[in-house]
Amino acid sequence: MFNFEKLDVYQLSKELSIELIKEANKFPFQYSRIRDQLLGAAISIPLNIAEGAGRLSKKDKTNFYRTARSSDYELYSIIDICDSLKLLNKVIYYDKIERIAKMLTCLIQSQK
């Protein structure tokens, strides 16, 4: 087991990514661009957590954890747009996205 797999934030972000992949595959064809943005942001979070955990310096780790947090914020914005288009219900995802942001903030602060 890699050390990042033990992180709750990694597990939660992976779970959210899988949920969103399943939902995004149901989008009508005309929304393929927003689907791709949604998937890119969702997948970026656990990938950057994993990559950051693999770095040796605190500065490098922090950089990847910040990127993951930025992707989390981007993800919320995309889901907000999807909600307006009636593609997704943002209420379903808001708590997880907020928890991930808070967990990443703590992870970033722990590197100082």
The residue ranges of every structural domain in the chain are: 3-109
| Residue 112 pLDDT | 84
Flag residues of the chain having pLDDT under 70.
none
Q: pLDDT tens-digit profile of 27-47?
A: 999 999 999 999 999 999 999
| Residue 44 pLDDT | 98
Record the tokens describing residue 71, joined without a space.
């992707």
Query: CB within 8 A of 83, min separation 6: which ones?
Result: 89, 90
Q: Which CATH architecture has domain 3-109?
A: Up-down Bundle (1.20)
Q: Please return the burial class of 72, using the count of CB atoms within 10 Å of its CB with bins 0-12, 13-18 and 19+.
A: buried
